[in-house]
Amino acid sequence: MKGVKLFFRVVKRIGLISIGLILIYGCAVLLLPLFTIDKEKEGTEEVEVYILTNGVHTDIVVPVKTAEIDWSENIKYTHSKMADSTYKYLAMGWGDKGFYLETPNWADLKASVAFNTALGLSTTAIHATYYKKMIISETCKRMMLSRKQYARLVAFITDSFQKNSENQYMLIDTDVAYGKTDAFYEAKGSYSVFTTCNSWANDVLKASGQKCCFWTALDWGIFSKYN
């Protein structure tokens, strides 16, 4: 009997600790985005950049070609089904590879994908989508960066891609696509409840001196700064 009581006591303690950790995480998700990191006091406005959300996931949208970089040299138009040189903008988002490629709908979520994501064991990918134009709305916000700031943004994003021996981005060979102008690339890092697609986008803004959150797991934290 003592062994049984000890077992249930340990299970109860583990359960209470788990609930406590979930509550702490929930508070962090709700409260940390309220702490704002203000935009750098940089007067020059030279490069337009956008943030775009589908209601869950934040993309960073950049001009395809500037003096700093021609993204199409690595993220080729031909990697998608129909994008061509008339598409002037490129949206990029970092996220869990399993979610991107194996979970078109929440009903398709596999236990293995959820388990790996929760524990930070999953691999990641960058989803890149070409657009002809951007339309400012509640889900698409515009900001202007100096060239120095944009160079830092470029450095952060390019460092998020895995590269082959020829320093080229590694295209993921898959039939999965969200449209006709997108493709997937191998990325660095592991996705977790602490390092999410939105925290990555927030870190891009932070690296380039733009208004952002101290930390956020969700897209609303970022977009609340641009209402």
* Model confidence at 13: pLDDT above 70: no
> What is the per-residue pLDDT across 187-202, written as a single tens digit (0 to 9) for each?
999 999 899 999 999 9
- Pick from 195, 190, 212, 218: nearest CA to 26: 218
Q: Which two tokens stand for residue 189?
A: 């890092």
> What is the per-residue pLDDT across 27-80, written as a single tens digit (0 to 9) for each?
767 888 999 999 998 778 999 999 999 999 999 999 999 999 999 999 999 999
The overall pTM is greater than 0.75? yes
